[in-house]
Amino acid sequence: MNDLGGKTAFVTGSVQGIGLAIAKALGGAGARVALHGLATAEAAAAACDALRAAGAADVAFFDGDLRDLEAVDRLLEQVQAWGPVDILVNNAGIQHTAPLAEMPRETWEAILAINLSAAFHTMQALMPKMAQRGFGRVINIASVHGLVASKDKAPYVAAKFGLVGLSRVAALEYAHVGSRESGGVTVNCIAPGWTETAIIEPQIVARAAAHGGDRAAGIAELLSEKQPSQRTSDPSEIGALALWLCAGVAHNITGTTIPVDGGWTTQ
């Protein structure tokens, strides 16, 4: 079910965290994987090495600033020259917290460009070609903040809600494409809650210190306000879900947003 031999995946924002975990899961199933990010040569090489170790059939790294439409066009041209994209994962994202009245306008524009507009551009370019082949998977990494709001995150929440809406529209437009045998073309979102990435590590360390170094207690306190399970997710768990959505048996799962949030959005 999880054999992606002969398939090519393109994962944006994939040199670390959730993006890298998804890329490793897809590569581990035999896919060729196009990695992407704004990274040092060393970081890019390390990510490629991790994919090869995971079992990827082939791997290449592509850079490109997703805030720049010309750079996005060049990126898409280069990736498609490397191979026809069967699986698109829009993971790249940035965040900045500030009250609405104090949010810099340039920050609003940057967050919307990377977290939302870039997904539109990649989907617009790649999905018609998926349709021609009768198989395609688009997995957009949203957030619990694509389902519920929080203070001080206006552009991030707006972008993630928009990503969920964009995904639903695309799912409807491509739902009839292909067949059970070919796998069809599907579009889904994954909405992680608290996930152990470098972004939240300083908060975990600080909370653990307040509990005498007890990491589990620190995490439980950090999550207690919003995530009922009081457990974080590991990025590899998001990768496992993304891999499952790529399977042929998932041909009728489209237009969904799947929370991985320990009950956060159930409340």
Residues in contact with 9: Cβ distance below 8 Å, sequence separation at least 6, in sequence order: 23, 26, 27, 31, 32, 33, 34, 85, 86, 87, 88, 89
Give the three-state DSSP class for 82: helix
Minimal CA–CA distance to 167: which of 144, 140, 147?
Answer: 140
Cβ atoms of 139 and 119 within 8 Å: the answer is no
Q: Is 156 considered catalytic here? A: yes
Residues in contact with 159: Cβ distance below 8 Å, sequence separation at least 6, in sequence order: 93, 111, 112, 115, 116
Cβ atoms of 188 and 245 within 8 Å: the answer is yes
Element (H, E) at 192: strand 184-192
What's the farthest any 2 CA atoms get from each other in the chain?
Answer: 58
Please state, in angstroms and rounded to a whole number, the distance separating the CA atoms of residues 183 and 137.
Answer: 9
Report how far Cα 195 is from the mean position of its chain's Cα atoms.
12
Provide the 10 A C-beta neighbour count for residue 162. Answer: 18
Set 156, 161, 174, 194: catalytic member:
156
196 vs 98, 139, 181, 200, CA distance in Å? 23, 20, 37, 7
Active site positions, annotated: 156
